[in-house]
Amino acid sequence: MHASPDLPEIVAHRGNAAEFPENTLEALGSAVELGAHFVEFDVQLTGDLVPVLSHDSDLVRVAGRPESVLELTWATLSGIPVGEVARLGPRHAATFAPSLAQVVEALAGWSGVTAFVEIKRASIRRFGRETVLRRVTEVLRPVLDRCVLISFDLASVKDARLMTGARIGWVLTEYDEAARSQAAALAPEFLFADVERLPADGEPLWHGPWGWAIYEVRDLETARACRMRGARWVETMDVRGLLRAYANSRPIA
């Protein structure tokens, strides 16, 4: 996927979201077609407890509508376009949010692709941790061996491991000593952090049993710097652009 060992693997953040509406089958499918072996997407529950792909708990940003994803039924949500017209213009205006079951069906056909499945805190607060984890993992079961369950909610990733034995990842809200201690106790397979939350001095990332994935990475220089600090993965919405930059780069001697 990339041109040299000094570059991290690319994770498609909400799919190829630079070109397609985020968290849609179109965005995820485009990322896979471009060559991404890792995708990331967000999961909420609808009012009737159907796991769906959505980052936000409402439809304001993606559909220009005020409704809550957590209150709508899946039958209603599935008919509401989420084409992000304000960001992308009208070309994807007839794009709809997929259910997690639809994504699982697609993932089953994407050979060699691993999915980082982020369980959103808004749904956990609304429906409870046990309900959310049970509903999500039931749907993921056919492809669970190719998924990593991740969340900002520390208790949820702990419980996800106990419930399923699946690989887990904790998304940090802060990069500090308290989080480092919690990570050491949890020992997840993955740690995620926003590149803007990392110390500016370029020090190596914490060592541990985890692999690091740094998100909101948009350019070659930042990706290379993350790799130099110890990150094996970077998340980007601009999958095509970063892959192109990788292809045109030269290894550091």
Residue at 91 is within a domain? no
Query: 252 falls in which pLDDT band (50, 70, 90)?
Result: low
Query: 253 falls in which pLDDT band (50, 70, 90)?
Result: low
Residue at 77 is within a domain? no
Q: Spell out the SS3 assignment of the chain.
A: CCCCCCCCEEEEECCCCCCCCCCCHHHHHHHHHHCCCEEEEEEEECCCCCEEECCCCECHHHHCCCCECCCCCHHHHCCCECCCHHHHHHHHCCCECCEHHHHHHHHHCCCCCEEEEEECHHHHHHHCHHHHHHHHHHHHHHHHHHEEEEECCHHHHHHHHHHHCCEEEEECCCCCHHHHHHHHHHCCCEEEEEHHHCCCCCCCCCCCCCEEEEECCCCHHHHHHHHHHCEEEEEECCHHHHHHHHHHCCCCC
What's the predicted TM-score (pTM) here? 0.97
Residue at 116 is within a domain? yes
CATH of the domain at 179: 3.20.20.190
Query: 2 falls in which pLDDT band (50, 70, 90)?
Result: very low
Residue at 253 is within a domain? no
Residue at 3 is within a domain? no
**What is the rounded average pLDDT for all residues in the chain?**
96
Residue at 195 is within a domain? yes
Number of independent structural domains in the chain: 1
**pLDDT tens sequence across 11-67:** 999 999 999 999 999 999 999 999 999 999 999 999 999 999 999 999 999 999 999
**pLDDT tens sequence across 114-168:** 999 999 999 999 999 999 999 999 999 999 999 999 999 999 999 999 999 999 9
Residue at 75 is within a domain? no
Give me the domain span that covers residue 222.
9-59+98-248
Residue at 142 is within a domain? yes
